[in-house]
Protein backbone atom coordinates (compact mmCIF):
# COMPACT_ATOMS: atom_id res chain seq x y z
CA UNK A 1 0.00 0.00 0.00
CA UNK A 2 1.48 3.35 -0.96
CA UNK A 3 -0.54 5.35 1.57
CA UNK A 4 1.30 6.75 4.59
CA UNK A 5 0.82 4.90 7.88
CA UNK A 6 -0.84 7.88 9.57
CA UNK A 7 -3.27 8.47 6.68
CA UNK A 8 -6.53 10.00 7.90
CA UNK A 9 -9.66 8.03 7.07
CA UNK A 10 -12.84 9.77 8.02
CA UNK A 11 -16.10 11.45 7.19
CA UNK A 12 -17.22 15.07 7.21
CA UNK A 13 -20.19 17.24 8.14
CA UNK A 14 -20.87 20.95 8.54
CA UNK A 15 -22.69 22.57 11.44
CA UNK A 16 -25.67 24.12 9.66
CA UNK A 17 -26.34 20.96 7.67
CA UNK A 18 -26.61 18.62 10.66
CA UNK A 19 -26.92 20.44 13.99
CA UNK A 20 -30.44 21.89 13.83
CA UNK A 21 -31.86 25.08 15.35
CA UNK A 22 -29.26 27.43 13.89
CA UNK A 23 -31.60 30.40 14.40
CA UNK A 24 -29.02 33.13 14.58
CA UNK A 25 -27.48 32.33 11.20
CA UNK A 26 -28.12 34.02 7.88
CA UNK A 27 -29.01 30.65 6.33
CA UNK A 28 -31.92 30.22 8.75
CA UNK A 29 -33.28 33.49 7.29
CA UNK A 30 -32.40 32.64 3.70
CA UNK A 31 -34.41 29.43 3.97
CA UNK A 32 -37.47 31.54 4.76
CA UNK A 33 -36.97 34.61 2.61
CA UNK A 34 -35.03 33.69 -0.51
CA UNK A 35 -38.04 33.45 -2.80
CA UNK A 36 -36.65 30.12 -4.05
CA UNK A 37 -38.56 27.03 -2.92
CA UNK A 38 -36.10 26.00 -0.22
CA UNK A 39 -36.82 23.40 2.42
CA UNK A 40 -35.92 24.56 5.94
CA UNK A 41 -33.09 23.03 7.96
CA UNK A 42 -35.27 22.96 11.13
CA UNK A 43 -33.93 20.48 13.66
CA UNK A 44 -31.67 19.07 10.93
CA UNK A 45 -30.52 15.71 12.33
CA UNK A 46 -29.98 17.05 15.85
CA UNK A 47 -26.24 16.48 15.67
CA UNK A 48 -25.91 19.37 18.12
CA UNK A 49 -27.07 16.98 20.86
CA UNK A 50 -26.27 13.63 19.27
CA UNK A 51 -22.67 14.17 18.17
CA UNK A 52 -21.26 11.64 20.69
CA UNK A 53 -23.40 8.87 19.17
CA UNK A 54 -22.47 9.93 15.63
CA UNK A 55 -18.77 10.04 16.40
CA UNK A 56 -18.95 6.64 18.06
CA UNK A 57 -20.57 5.14 14.95
CA UNK A 58 -17.70 6.43 12.79
CA UNK A 59 -15.06 5.19 15.22
CA UNK A 60 -16.73 1.77 15.68
CA UNK A 61 -16.73 1.31 11.91
CA UNK A 62 -12.94 1.75 11.85
CA UNK A 63 -12.50 5.40 10.81
CA UNK A 64 -9.84 7.50 12.53
CA UNK A 65 -10.88 11.08 11.69
CA UNK A 66 -13.93 13.33 11.74
CA UNK A 67 -14.27 16.71 10.06
CA UNK A 68 -16.90 19.05 11.48
CA UNK A 69 -17.38 22.79 11.63
CA UNK A 70 -17.78 25.37 14.36
CA UNK A 71 -20.79 27.62 13.85
CA UNK A 72 -19.80 31.29 14.00
CA UNK A 73 -23.47 32.27 14.42
CA UNK A 74 -23.59 30.33 17.69
CA UNK A 75 -20.25 31.59 18.99
CA UNK A 76 -21.15 35.23 18.21
CA UNK A 77 -24.96 35.37 17.97
CA UNK A 78 -24.92 39.16 18.28
CA UNK A 79 -22.11 41.38 17.13
CA UNK A 80 -19.34 41.39 19.74
CA UNK A 81 -21.21 39.04 22.12
CA UNK A 82 -19.32 35.78 22.35
CA UNK A 83 -20.95 32.79 24.00
CA UNK A 84 -18.71 30.96 26.45
CA UNK A 85 -21.23 28.12 26.62
CA UNK A 86 -21.04 27.59 22.86
CA UNK A 87 -17.25 27.72 22.89
CA UNK A 88 -17.36 25.00 25.54
CA UNK A 89 -19.81 23.00 23.44
CA UNK A 90 -17.36 22.85 20.53
CA UNK A 91 -14.47 22.12 22.89
CA UNK A 92 -16.48 19.12 24.12
CA UNK A 93 -16.90 18.00 20.51
CA UNK A 94 -13.13 18.13 20.02
CA UNK A 95 -12.55 16.15 23.23
CA UNK A 96 -15.26 13.63 22.39
CA UNK A 97 -13.73 13.01 18.96
CA UNK A 98 -10.32 12.43 20.53
CA UNK A 99 -11.74 10.11 23.20
CA UNK A 100 -13.41 8.06 20.45
CA UNK A 101 -10.09 7.79 18.60
CA UNK A 102 -11.04 10.25 15.86
CA UNK A 103 -8.63 12.98 14.75
CA UNK A 104 -10.70 16.18 14.75
CA UNK A 105 -10.45 18.21 11.52
CA UNK A 106 -12.09 21.49 12.43
CA UNK A 107 -13.54 23.97 9.93
CA UNK A 108 -14.10 27.49 11.26
CA UNK A 109 -16.54 28.67 8.59
CA UNK A 110 -18.77 26.50 6.41
CA UNK A 111 -21.10 28.73 4.36
CA UNK A 112 -23.34 30.08 7.14
CA UNK A 113 -22.69 33.51 8.67
CA UNK A 114 -24.17 35.16 11.74
CA UNK A 115 -27.38 36.92 10.64
CA UNK A 116 -26.07 40.26 11.98
CA UNK A 117 -22.92 39.91 9.83
CA UNK A 118 -24.93 39.30 6.65
CA UNK A 119 -27.26 42.20 7.53
CA UNK A 120 -24.20 44.45 7.72
CA UNK A 121 -23.34 43.42 4.14
CA UNK A 122 -21.06 40.56 4.97
CA UNK A 123 -17.56 39.89 3.79
CA UNK A 124 -17.10 42.72 1.37
CA UNK A 125 -18.38 45.47 3.71
CA UNK A 126 -15.78 47.63 5.46
CA UNK A 127 -14.77 45.71 8.58
CA UNK A 128 -16.12 42.39 7.24
CA UNK A 129 -12.72 40.69 7.35
CA UNK A 130 -11.99 42.25 10.78
CA UNK A 131 -15.15 40.69 12.23
CA UNK A 132 -14.09 37.29 10.96
CA UNK A 133 -10.58 37.79 12.34
CA UNK A 134 -12.02 38.60 15.80
CA UNK A 135 -14.10 35.42 15.66
CA UNK A 136 -11.02 33.39 14.69
CA UNK A 137 -9.06 34.98 17.53
CA UNK A 138 -11.84 34.02 19.98
CA UNK A 139 -12.30 30.51 18.70
CA UNK A 140 -8.56 29.81 18.68
CA UNK A 141 -8.81 29.65 22.49
CA UNK A 142 -10.54 26.23 22.26
CA UNK A 143 -8.28 24.69 19.61
CA UNK A 144 -5.54 23.50 21.91
CA UNK A 145 -4.26 20.12 20.69
CA UNK A 146 -6.19 20.23 17.41
CA UNK A 147 -3.86 19.29 14.55
CA UNK A 148 -5.96 20.21 11.51
CA UNK A 149 -7.86 23.47 11.12
CA UNK A 150 -9.52 24.73 7.93
CA UNK A 151 -10.29 28.43 8.01
CA UNK A 152 -13.00 28.74 5.35
CA UNK A 153 -14.87 26.02 3.46
CA UNK A 154 -15.07 26.49 -0.31
CA UNK A 155 -14.35 30.21 -0.56
CA UNK A 156 -15.17 29.93 -4.26
CA UNK A 157 -18.74 28.83 -3.52
CA UNK A 158 -18.92 31.32 -0.65
CA UNK A 159 -18.07 34.12 -3.13
CA UNK A 160 -21.02 32.98 -5.23
CA UNK A 161 -23.25 33.11 -2.17
CA UNK A 162 -22.00 36.63 -1.45
CA UNK A 163 -22.64 37.70 -5.05
CA UNK A 164 -26.15 36.29 -4.99
CA UNK A 165 -26.89 37.86 -1.62
CA UNK A 166 -25.79 41.24 -2.89
CA UNK A 167 -27.79 40.85 -6.10
CA UNK A 168 -31.05 39.66 -4.58
CA UNK A 169 -30.59 39.91 -0.83
CA UNK A 170 -31.10 36.16 -0.64
CA UNK A 171 -27.72 34.43 -0.78
CA UNK A 172 -29.09 31.04 -1.66
CA UNK A 173 -27.09 28.92 -4.01
CA UNK A 174 -29.59 26.20 -4.75
CA UNK A 175 -28.37 22.69 -4.21
CA UNK A 176 -27.60 20.58 -7.23
CA UNK A 177 -26.29 23.28 -9.54
CA UNK A 178 -23.20 22.55 -11.59
CA UNK A 179 -20.53 25.06 -12.55
CA UNK A 180 -22.30 25.35 -15.93
CA UNK A 181 -25.48 26.59 -14.25
CA UNK A 182 -23.91 29.10 -11.88
CA UNK A 183 -22.27 32.45 -12.54
CA UNK A 184 -18.48 32.46 -12.41
CA UNK A 185 -17.29 33.52 -8.92
CA UNK A 186 -16.22 37.12 -9.02
CA UNK A 187 -12.57 37.93 -8.47
CA UNK A 188 -13.08 40.91 -6.18
CA UNK A 189 -15.08 38.90 -3.64
CA UNK A 190 -12.59 36.06 -3.97
CA UNK A 191 -9.72 38.39 -3.09
CA UNK A 192 -11.55 39.56 0.04
CA UNK A 193 -11.86 35.93 1.11
CA UNK A 194 -8.17 35.38 0.38
CA UNK A 195 -7.43 38.30 2.71
CA UNK A 196 -9.73 36.78 5.37
CA UNK A 197 -7.95 33.45 5.02
CA UNK A 198 -4.49 35.01 5.31
CA UNK A 199 -5.54 36.89 8.47
CA UNK A 200 -6.97 33.70 9.96
CA UNK A 201 -3.81 31.72 9.14
CA UNK A 202 -1.71 34.34 10.89
CA UNK A 203 -3.90 34.25 14.02
CA UNK A 204 -4.03 30.46 14.13
CA UNK A 205 -0.28 30.16 13.69
CA UNK A 206 0.28 32.59 16.54
CA UNK A 207 -2.24 30.98 18.91
CA UNK A 208 -2.23 27.25 18.10
CA UNK A 209 0.03 24.48 16.91
CA UNK A 210 -2.46 23.27 14.26
CA UNK A 211 -1.73 22.68 10.61
CA UNK A 212 -3.73 25.38 8.89
CA UNK A 213 -5.31 25.52 5.44
CA UNK A 214 -8.63 26.02 3.70
CA UNK A 215 -10.80 23.81 1.51
CA UNK A 216 -11.53 24.43 -2.16
CA UNK A 217 -14.48 23.26 -4.31
CA UNK A 218 -12.69 21.75 -7.27
CA UNK A 219 -14.54 21.29 -10.52
CA UNK A 220 -11.97 18.88 -12.04
CA UNK A 221 -12.05 20.92 -15.24
CA UNK A 222 -11.03 19.25 -18.48
CA UNK A 223 -10.08 21.26 -21.58
CA UNK A 224 -12.50 20.69 -24.47
CA UNK A 225 -12.30 21.89 -28.07
CA UNK A 226 -11.51 25.56 -28.62
CA UNK A 227 -10.89 26.26 -24.92
CA UNK A 228 -7.45 27.89 -25.30
CA UNK A 229 -8.78 31.23 -24.04
CA UNK A 230 -11.74 30.18 -21.89
CA UNK A 231 -9.95 27.43 -19.95
CA UNK A 232 -7.29 29.51 -18.17
CA UNK A 233 -9.72 32.34 -17.39
CA UNK A 234 -12.50 30.13 -16.02
CA UNK A 235 -10.09 27.87 -14.20
CA UNK A 236 -8.49 30.93 -12.55
CA UNK A 237 -11.76 32.48 -11.40
CA UNK A 238 -13.32 29.19 -10.32
CA UNK A 239 -10.41 27.71 -8.40
CA UNK A 240 -6.82 28.59 -9.24
CA UNK A 241 -7.10 31.96 -7.50
CA UNK A 242 -7.89 30.10 -4.26
CA UNK A 243 -5.41 27.27 -4.82
CA UNK A 244 -2.62 29.73 -5.53
CA UNK A 245 -3.48 31.58 -2.33
CA UNK A 246 -2.82 28.30 -0.47
CA UNK A 247 0.89 28.30 -1.28
CA UNK A 248 2.72 28.43 2.03
CA UNK A 249 -0.21 26.84 3.94
CA UNK A 250 0.27 23.59 5.83
CA UNK A 251 -2.30 21.80 3.69
CA UNK A 252 -5.09 22.45 1.24
CA UNK A 253 -8.43 20.65 1.39
CA UNK A 254 -9.57 19.38 -1.97
CA UNK A 255 -13.28 18.77 -2.50
CA UNK A 256 -14.53 17.23 -5.70
CA UNK A 257 -17.57 15.30 -6.82
CA UNK A 258 -17.71 15.52 -10.59
CA UNK A 259 -15.74 16.77 -13.57
CA UNK A 260 -16.67 19.54 -16.00
CA UNK A 261 -15.52 20.22 -19.53
CA UNK A 262 -14.75 23.74 -20.70
CA UNK A 263 -15.13 24.54 -24.40
CA UNK A 264 -14.97 27.79 -26.36
CA UNK A 265 -18.29 28.94 -24.83
CA UNK A 266 -17.46 28.15 -21.22
CA UNK A 267 -18.43 25.31 -18.89
CA UNK A 268 -20.36 22.60 -20.74
CA UNK A 269 -23.54 21.45 -18.93
CA UNK A 270 -23.75 17.79 -17.98
CA UNK A 271 -26.15 16.08 -20.35
CA UNK A 272 -29.19 14.39 -18.79
CA UNK A 273 -28.30 10.78 -18.13
CA UNK A 274 -29.72 7.98 -15.99
CA UNK A 275 -26.21 7.77 -14.53
CA UNK A 276 -26.37 11.29 -13.09
CA UNK A 277 -26.45 11.50 -9.31
CA UNK A 278 -29.48 12.61 -7.26
CA UNK A 279 -28.47 16.23 -7.67
CA UNK A 280 -27.94 15.97 -11.42
CA UNK A 281 -24.13 15.75 -11.44
CA UNK A 282 -22.41 13.42 -13.90
CA UNK A 283 -21.10 10.20 -12.31
CA UNK A 284 -17.37 10.91 -12.40
CA UNK A 285 -15.31 9.15 -9.71
CA UNK A 286 -12.21 10.10 -11.73
CA UNK A 287 -12.82 13.72 -10.68
CA UNK A 288 -10.87 13.10 -7.47
CA UNK A 289 -7.66 12.19 -9.33
CA UNK A 290 -8.01 15.18 -11.67
CA UNK A 291 -8.61 17.50 -8.71
CA UNK A 292 -5.66 16.20 -6.68
CA UNK A 293 -3.25 16.50 -9.61
CA UNK A 294 -4.47 20.00 -10.40
CA UNK A 295 -4.24 21.16 -6.77
CA UNK A 296 -0.73 19.70 -6.49
CA UNK A 297 0.36 21.60 -9.59
CA UNK A 298 -1.21 24.98 -8.78
CA UNK A 299 -0.21 24.99 -5.10
CA UNK A 300 3.30 23.84 -6.05
CA UNK A 301 3.20 20.80 -3.82
CA UNK A 302 1.30 21.89 -0.70
CA UNK A 303 0.21 18.68 1.15
CA UNK A 304 -3.32 17.72 0.18
CA UNK A 305 -6.15 16.47 2.37
CA UNK A 306 -9.33 15.26 0.71
CA UNK A 307 -11.82 17.10 2.89
CA UNK A 308 -14.89 16.13 0.81
CA UNK A 309 -15.72 13.56 -1.85
CA UNK A 310 -18.87 11.51 -2.23
CA UNK A 311 -22.07 10.96 -4.13
CA UNK A 312 -25.75 11.83 -3.70
CA UNK A 313 -27.50 8.53 -4.23
CA UNK A 314 -30.25 6.44 -2.69
CA UNK A 315 -28.39 3.32 -3.81
CA UNK A 316 -25.69 2.53 -1.28
CA UNK A 317 -24.02 -0.04 -3.58
CA UNK A 318 -23.44 2.81 -5.97
CA UNK A 319 -21.89 4.90 -3.19
CA UNK A 320 -19.44 2.06 -2.54
CA UNK A 321 -18.68 1.68 -6.26
CA UNK A 322 -18.14 5.43 -6.69
CA UNK A 323 -15.95 5.75 -3.61
CA UNK A 324 -13.87 2.72 -4.36
CA UNK A 325 -13.18 4.02 -7.90
CA UNK A 326 -12.39 7.49 -6.50
CA UNK A 327 -9.94 5.93 -4.02
CA UNK A 328 -8.16 4.09 -6.83
CA UNK A 329 -7.62 7.46 -8.52
CA UNK A 330 -6.34 8.88 -5.22
CA UNK A 331 -3.94 5.94 -4.83
CA UNK A 332 -2.66 6.41 -8.38
CA UNK A 333 -1.97 10.08 -7.62
CA UNK A 334 -0.02 9.09 -4.48
CA UNK A 335 1.93 6.53 -6.51
CA UNK A 336 2.87 9.38 -8.83
CA UNK A 337 4.40 11.23 -5.89
CA UNK A 338 1.55 13.51 -4.85
CA UNK A 339 1.45 14.15 -1.11
CA UNK A 340 -2.07 13.22 0.09
CA UNK A 341 -2.59 13.04 3.85
CA UNK A 342 -6.12 11.72 4.17
CA UNK A 343 -9.57 11.04 2.78
CA UNK A 344 -12.67 12.44 4.50
CA UNK A 345 -15.87 11.24 2.87
CA UNK A 346 -18.81 13.58 2.36
CA UNK A 347 -20.85 12.94 4.29
CA UNK A 348 -21.06 11.17 7.63
CA UNK A 349 -24.83 11.65 7.76
CA UNK A 350 -27.67 12.24 5.32
CA UNK A 351 -28.11 15.96 5.85
CA UNK A 352 -29.56 19.31 4.85
CA UNK A 353 -28.27 19.87 1.35
CA UNK A 354 -28.65 23.68 1.41
CA UNK A 355 -32.39 23.96 0.84
CA UNK A 356 -33.04 20.37 -0.15
CA UNK A 357 -33.28 17.19 1.92
CA UNK A 358 -33.46 15.02 -1.23
CA UNK A 359 -29.82 14.40 -2.21
CA UNK A 360 -28.55 11.84 0.30
CA UNK A 361 -24.74 11.83 0.64
CA UNK A 362 -24.54 10.03 4.00
CA UNK A 363 -22.81 6.91 5.22
CA UNK A 364 -25.50 6.98 7.93
CA UNK A 365 -29.23 7.50 7.32
CA UNK A 366 -31.30 9.39 9.90
CA UNK A 367 -35.02 9.21 10.61
CA UNK A 368 -35.81 12.90 10.83
CA UNK A 369 -38.75 12.38 13.20
CA UNK A 370 -37.14 10.08 15.74
CA UNK A 371 -33.52 10.99 14.93
CA UNK A 372 -32.67 7.28 14.99
CA UNK A 373 -29.43 6.60 13.11
CA UNK A 374 -29.15 3.76 10.63
CA UNK A 375 -25.60 3.12 9.42
CA UNK A 376 -25.49 2.08 5.76
CA UNK A 377 -23.30 -0.76 4.45
CA UNK A 378 -21.01 1.91 2.95
CA UNK A 379 -19.97 2.96 6.47
CA UNK A 380 -18.76 -0.54 7.35
CA UNK A 381 -17.13 -0.77 3.92
CA UNK A 382 -15.22 2.53 4.33
CA UNK A 383 -14.25 1.45 7.85
CA UNK A 384 -12.74 -1.75 6.46
CA UNK A 385 -10.83 0.25 3.83
CA UNK A 386 -9.54 2.42 6.68
CA UNK A 387 -8.44 -0.61 8.68
CA UNK A 388 -6.44 -1.95 5.74
CA UNK A 389 -5.20 1.56 4.88
CA UNK A 390 -6.49 1.49 1.32
CA UNK A 391 -8.66 -0.25 -1.25
CA UNK A 392 -7.31 -3.65 -2.14
C1 LIG B 1 -20.16 21.64 0.43
C2 LIG B 1 -21.14 20.82 1.25
C3 LIG B 1 -22.19 20.25 0.34
C4 LIG B 1 -21.52 19.33 -0.66
C5 LIG B 1 -22.47 18.61 -1.61
C6 LIG B 1 -19.82 21.05 -0.90
O7 LIG B 1 -19.96 22.05 -1.83
O8 LIG B 1 -19.03 21.98 1.19
O9 LIG B 1 -21.67 21.68 2.22
O10 LIG B 1 -23.20 19.59 1.04
O11 LIG B 1 -20.62 20.05 -1.43
O12 LIG B 1 -23.18 19.49 -2.40
- The reply to whether ligand 1 has any atom less than 6 angstroms from the CB of 153 is yes
Residue 387 has what pLDDT? Answer: 97
Residue of 302, 308, 187, 160 whose CA lies nearest to 243: 302
Instruction: Mark residue 10 as left, alpha or beta (left: phi above 0; alpha: psi -120 to 50; beta: remaining).
Output: beta
C-alpha–C-alpha distance, residues 109 and 96, integer Å: 20
Tens digits of residue pLDDT in 210-233: 999 999 999 999 999 999 999 999
- The reply to whether ligand 1 has any atom less than 6 angstroms from the CB of 46 is no
CB-facing half-sphere around the CA of 151: CA atoms within 13 A = 33
- The reply to whether ligand 1 has any atom less than 6 angstroms from the CB of 353 is yes
Contact 167, 230 (CB under 8 A): no
Residue 169 has what pLDDT? Answer: 54
For β-strands 260-263 and 266-267, DSSP reports them as antiparallel
- The reply to whether ligand 1 has any atom less than 6 angstroms from the CB of 277 is no
Tens digits of residue pLDDT in 14-27: 999 999 999 999 99
The per-residue DSSP string of 96-150 comes to: HHHHHT-EEEEES--S--BHHHHHTTGGGSTTHHHHHHHHHHHHGGG-TT--EEE
Percent of the chain exceeding pLDDT 70 equals: 97
C-beta neighbour count of 48 within 10 angstroms: 18
CATH number of 8-387: 3.20.20.80
Residue 34 has what pLDDT? Answer: 76
Higher pLDDT, 144 or 169: 144
First to last CA, the chain: 8
Q: pLDDT category, 163, cuts 50, 70, 90?
A: confident
* Nearest residue (CA) to ligand 1, atom 7: 217
Contact 196, 150 (CB under 8 A): no
Give distance in angstroms: CA of 111 to centre of ligand 1: 9
- Please tell me whether residue 298 adopts helix, strand or coil conformation: helix
Tens digits of residue pLDDT in 45-83: 999 999 999 999 999 999 999 999 999 999 999 999 999
Point out the ligand 1 atom lying closest to the alpha carbon of residue 157.
7
Which are the contacts of 346, defined by CB distance < 8 A and separation ≥ 6? 11, 12, 255, 257, 308, 309, 310, 361
Tens digits of residue pLDDT in 89-139: 999 999 999 999 999 999 999 999 999 999 998 999 999 999 999 999 999
Amino acid sequence: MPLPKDFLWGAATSAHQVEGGNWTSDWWRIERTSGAPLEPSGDAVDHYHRYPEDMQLLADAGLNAYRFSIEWARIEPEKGEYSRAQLQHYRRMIDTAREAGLEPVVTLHHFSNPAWFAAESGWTAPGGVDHFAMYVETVSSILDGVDWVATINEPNILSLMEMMRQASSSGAVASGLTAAQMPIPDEETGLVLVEAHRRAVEILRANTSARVGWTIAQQAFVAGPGSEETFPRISWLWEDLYLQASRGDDFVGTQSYTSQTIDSNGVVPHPDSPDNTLNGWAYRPDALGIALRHAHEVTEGVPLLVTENGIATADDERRIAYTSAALRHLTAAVEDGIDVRGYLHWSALDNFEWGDWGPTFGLIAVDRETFVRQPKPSLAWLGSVARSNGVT
